[in-house]
Amino acid sequence: MDLEVFNGLLRPKSIAVIGASDTPGKIGYTVVKNLLESGYEGPIYPINPKGGEIQGLKAYASVLDVPGEIDAAAVVVPAKIVPTVAKECGQKGVKGLIVIASGFSEVGRDDLESQVVEIAHEHGMRVLGPNIVGILSNSDQCNASFAPFLPLPGKAALVSQSGALLIAMDASTYIRRVGFDKMVSIGNMSDVNFADMVAWLDQDETTGCVSLYIEGLKDGRRFMENAREASKPIIALKSGVSAHGAAAAASHTGSLAGSGKVYEAAFEQAGVVMAADLNNLFDRTLALSLQPPMPGDNLLIITNGGGVGVLATDSAERYGLPLRYAPDDVQAELQNHMPEFGSAKNPVDLTGMAGRDWYQDSVQYAFAHKWVDGLVVLYCETAMTDPQDIAEGIQEAVEASGITDKPIAVSFVGGERSEAAMRWLVEKSIPAYNEPDTSVNAMAALREYARNQDLAAHSFEPLSDVDEAAAREVIAKVRAERCRDMTEIESKAIFEAYGLPVANTRLADDEAQAVELAEAIGYPVVMKIVSPDILHKSDAGGVMVDIKDADGVREAFNTILDNAKAYKSEANIHGVAIQEMAPWGTEVILGSVNDPTFGPAVMFGLGGIFVEILRDVTFRVAPVSADQAAKMLADINGAPILEGARGEEPKDRQALAELLSRYSQMICDLADEVQESDANPVIVYEEGEGAIIVDARIILKDND
């Protein structure tokens, strides 16, 4: 990243406003006015062909007439003039263009947009936008946008793909008590995108936490890389996660993926914390911008009301931080700061009699105790206590504890006095919320951040005992004949080339050969239709299991062919597969999709016919290490089935994890050819007994 250029664009020391105006109501007027009002200290150069004076500043006909240097140019002229303006900026040596103007790719003028980027790049400039609100920065006192004022100052930075949302969020920072140092609108992302912003904000010393509103990423893998490398918390709200287009997907995996699942996985793998909605984005941003990550799972809640305590307990479970009782020594000590009828378990209930002292003493003791990984303090406004008093008690306790490596969050439920106390707490870097649920959720965000950082540290070591060339040969042969769908036999050949354990499967052209193969494989056998036109073989009556002798093979051979013809008369039939029959075990599914944003991604779930109904599956962007794969096995709701539930033996999760990792390598290596694939089912056995793939399918990319 060329820091000088990016700094010029995002923290400009001088700004030209191209299309500046003296007419209120015009954007070119508003941007100049906002720069002046925000107290921007660098030179502002209004550019307007008429020259003269604009809002008391000397105006120039062109940037080329400006005597001094220009770091950034805010461009508010009509779209069709932007290329010309960009050229002049390039000649002038401007570093970055903040293209507020609209009328580009969002209305189908992709040509105009790429023209601007091309010109910019020729001159070493970067482009923010087009179709944006602009940039806002408290530390630079710079409002180069048409949003009316700078946000409430704070440590977070917001990058938003939606301009309208940015303006609304800017305004709402004041009532939500969430401070931002910067807000950047990135609109069409013709050039500078989320990946760039994450990298730049990570090195920007006035940013403490990065908050993103994302509709879609342009370069998913680079975003993941930059996010993973970032040392600051990143939190993202992703819209548009409904499973649109999933119905069109050909495989199980495709229909299970939707667009949200892979995003979710990618964010987690990259250490990005997700937000559920706008409120949640603000609330989590507040916590992540003020507090350190939560180092372990031990959350302690201190409250003066049983009701809010129970609510928070429910929330803790909901957000993956179920409460545990504090150890005896903690309970014994806390008992000293509450009446007889209080409770020192967890939540710690100081009772409605609790005043400042009890709060302060218990918070100070608990926060400093090594068992506690994070503290949530709840307070219900009472007639006897002053919220400000309680707030000060909490703050002093935190300070006196000297602890800075674990988080605290509070919720004050009450009226205006509580509101004021919470504002004060936030100023002291203690995140404060109105609802008990919210502070627990914020704590969960701090825990997720810590967990995701661990995950992001896993690295994948590619296996060398794979035969990519052999796999590609199979693909080439299919390509020469057809376009997309590979048969089970062809798919298994590729799986085998990658060293994956596949049930021995052979193709028979006629009855006699079928019997011969069955005898060689050994009874019982399974027989299946082999046709690129029949993807769901059982649906076509194309699968027969447990065939025990030659007569059975002959009969099955004919039945399967008859069924297939009846199912799809025009199907191109290659023959009938004879395969070893795997012993009974637990059926799971592995799948892959080639995601438009993130590329190859793997899926794992419990198999069987209900997979699409239960949707109990988990995704990761590929490749995954065996360690990461093991985490996938634990991720699904049905995990206890693999871990050994209800008297059943635990299943061979290690074999499964290794298989999944190897499979993920296969789909990455072949990502230029493979669109989707699955192994459904893979039958897994008890620990040490391994797993075997009995059905496999690969769907190639549509290359025409």
- Partner residues linked to 98 by β-bridges: 74, 128
Name the token pair of 262.
Answer: 């892979």
| Shortest spacing between CB 467 and ligand ADP, in angstroms | 23
Residue 115 in contact with residue 88, Cβ under 8 Å? no
For the bound state, the minimum distance from the C-beta of residue 578 to Mg ion, rounded and expressed in Å, comes to: 17
* Closest distance of CB 680 from Mg ion, Å: 4
Exposed/middle/buried for residue 138 (C-beta within 10 Å: 0-12, 13-18, 19+): buried
Size of the site for Mg ion (CB under 5 A): 2
Cβ 609 to ligand ADP, closest distance in Å? 8
Sole window of 411-419, 494-502, 575-583, 588-596 interacting with ligand ADP (rule: CB under 6 A): 575-583
Give the residues across from 604 on adjacent strands: 590, 618
Beta-carbon contacts of residue 255 (< 8 Å; ≥ 6 apart): 243, 246, 247, 249, 612
Q: Please check whether residue 101 is in contact with residue 75, taking contact to mean a CB–CB distance below 8 angstroms.
A: yes
The entry of Mg ion, ligand ADP, none that residue 50 binds, CB within 5 to 8 Å by partner kind: none
Q: Measure the CA–CA gap between 218 and 222, rounded to whole angstroms.
A: 9
Nearer to ligand ADP, 348 or 517 (CB): 517
DSSP string spanning 207-220? -SEEEEEES--S-H
Spatial distance between the Cα atoms of 602 and 664, rounded to a whole number of angstroms: 6
First to last CA, the chain: 36
Q: Which does 666 bind (CB under 5 to 8 A by kind): Mg ion, ligand ADP, none?
A: none
- According to the binding rule CB under 6 A, does residue 681 interact with ligand ADP? yes
Q: Does 581 bind ligand ADP (CB under 6 A)?
A: yes
> How many C-beta atoms surround the C-beta of residue 119 within 10 A?
21
120, interface contact from ligand ADP, Mg ion, none, CB < 5-8 Å by kind? none
Residue 545: name its binding partner from Mg ion, ligand ADP, none (Cβ under 5 to 8 Å by kind).
ligand ADP
Q: Which stretch binds Mg ion (CB under 5 A): 312-320, 325-333, 357-365, 691-699?
A: 691-699
Pick from 165, 694, 699, 700 the residue near ligand ADP by CB under 6 A.
Answer: 694
The total of other beta-carbon atoms located within 10 Å of residue 295's CB is: 14
Task: List the x/- string, 665-684, binding to Mg ion by CB under 5 A.
Answer: ---------------x----
Residue 187 contact, options ligand ADP, Mg ion, none, Cβ 5-8 Å cut-off depending on partner type: none
Site for ligand ADP in 479-508 (CB under 6 A): 503
- Do 629 and 429 form a contact (C-beta atoms < 8 A)? no
CB of 592 to Mg ion, least distance (A): 15
Binding residues for ligand ADP, total number by CB under 6 A: 16
Nearest-approach distance from CB 681 to ligand ADP, in angstroms: 5
Q: Are 258 and 222 in contact (CB under 8 A)?
A: no
* 3-state DSSP assignment of residue 10: helix
Query: Residue with the closest Cβ to Mg ion?
Result: 695
Name the binder of 548 from ligand ADP, Mg ion, none, CB < 5-8 A by kind.
Answer: none
Spatial strand order of the sheet with 525-530 comes to 505-508, 575-580, 525-530, 543-547
| Nearer of residues 120 and 694 to ligand ADP, judged by Cβ | 694
Binding mask 526-565 for ligand ADP (x = CB under 6 A): x-x-------xxx----x-x--------------------
Per-residue H/E/C for 161-195: CCHHHHHHHHHHHHHHCCCEEEEEECCCCCCCCHH
- Whichever of 213 and 663 has its CB closer to Mg ion, that residue is 663
Q: Choosing among ligand ADP, Mg ion, none, which partner's interface includes residue 232 (Cβ < 5 to 8 Å by kind)?
A: none
Q: Note the Cα 9 to chain centre separation in Å.
A: 27
Which residue shows structure tokens 């999709």?
Answer: 593
- Say if residue 407 is preceded by a cis peptide, omega within 30 of 0: no
Residues that bind ligand ADP (CB under 6 A): 503, 526, 528, 536-538, 543, 545, 579, 581-582, 587, 680-681, 694-695
Residues that bind Mg ion (CB under 5 A): 680, 695
